[in-house]
């Protein structure tokens, strides 16, 4: 390669790099007048769609009885084998028993190391016991902490922004949330 062609190649490279840099900067600059979507969470609330599939909760009826009757349909529907349940009988009258029925989940666990948030468990549940909540703060330090138990999932129900316990539900709800403390989620639900 002659000295002259070396200089020409260098000039071509400088022109090409300058052109691509100018193209990149033009895209960046064109976005500067647009609306900013970055927010300073958690100091500012994040807007979450109501249909968002976050961490699950297990619901209760108006008297605080667990809605889950341990039918195993959610576990059977789960494609990720993320749900583990142990059922038990509770033949006591409604006022005294744990769930709305004579069967209840003695153990109910969801492994969020496996869950893919597909919602099949929610669709399969005949009692509307399990639903997706809106919690998206799942960071943990060890894989074992990704498995959430029944009490945690029941506590999640009371952490939902639009759920407030009535007089019959209040004591149990407060005990569950106290046992499974979590920073309040700074979020606003939107349609």
Q: Which residues contact 99 (CB under 8 A, 6 or more apart)?
A: 65, 66, 67, 68, 69, 70, 90, 105
Cα 47 to Cα 42, 118, 183: the distances in Å are 11, 21, 17
How many other C-beta atoms lie within 10 A of the C-beta of residue 113?
A: 13
CB of 56 to ligand SF4, least distance (A): 7
Yes or no: say if 135 and 55 are a contact pair by the CB < 8 Å rule.
Answer: yes
Choice from 54, 59, 60, 110 touching ligand SF4 (CB under 6 A):
110
118 binds ligand SF4 (CB under 6 A): yes
117 binds ligand SF4 (CB under 6 A): yes
Cα 13 to Cα 6, 18, 19: the distances in Å are 11, 8, 10
124 binds ligand SF4 (CB under 6 A): yes
155 binds ligand SF4 (CB under 6 A): no
146 binds ligand SF4 (CB under 6 A): no
116 binds ligand SF4 (CB under 6 A): yes
Distance from C-alpha of 104 to C-alpha of 110, rounded to nearest angstrom? 16
Closer Cβ to ligand SF4, 130 or 173, answer by number:
130
CB of 61 to ligand SF4, least distance (A): 12
Contact residues for ligand SF4 (CB under 6 A)?
68-74, 77-78, 80, 82-83, 85, 105, 110, 115-121, 124-125, 127, 129-130
């Amino acid at each position: 390669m002659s000295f002259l062609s070396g200089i020409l190649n260098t000039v071509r490279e400088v022109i090409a790099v300058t052109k691509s840099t100018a193209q990149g900067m033009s895209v960046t600059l064109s976005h500067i007048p647009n609306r900013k979507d970055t927010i300073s969470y958690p100091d500012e609330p994040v807007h979450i769609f109501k249909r968002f599939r976050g961490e699950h909760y297990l619901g209760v009826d108006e008297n605080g009885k667990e809605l889950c009757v341990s039918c195993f349909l959610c576990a059977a529907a789960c494609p990720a084998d993320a749900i583990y349940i142990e059922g038990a009988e509770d033949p006591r009258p409604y006022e005294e028993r744990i769930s709305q029925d004579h069967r209840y989940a003695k153990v109910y666990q969801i492994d969020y190391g496996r869950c893919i948030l597909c919602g099949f468990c929610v669709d399969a549940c005949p009692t509307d016991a399990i639903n997706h909540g809106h919690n998206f703060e799942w960071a943990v330090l060890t894989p074992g902490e990704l498995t959430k138990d029944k009490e945690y999932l029941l506590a999640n129900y009371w952490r939902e922004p639009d759920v407030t316990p009535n007089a019959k539900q209040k004591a149990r709800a407060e005990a569950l949330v106290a046992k499974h403390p979590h920073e309040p989620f700074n979020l606003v639900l939107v349609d």
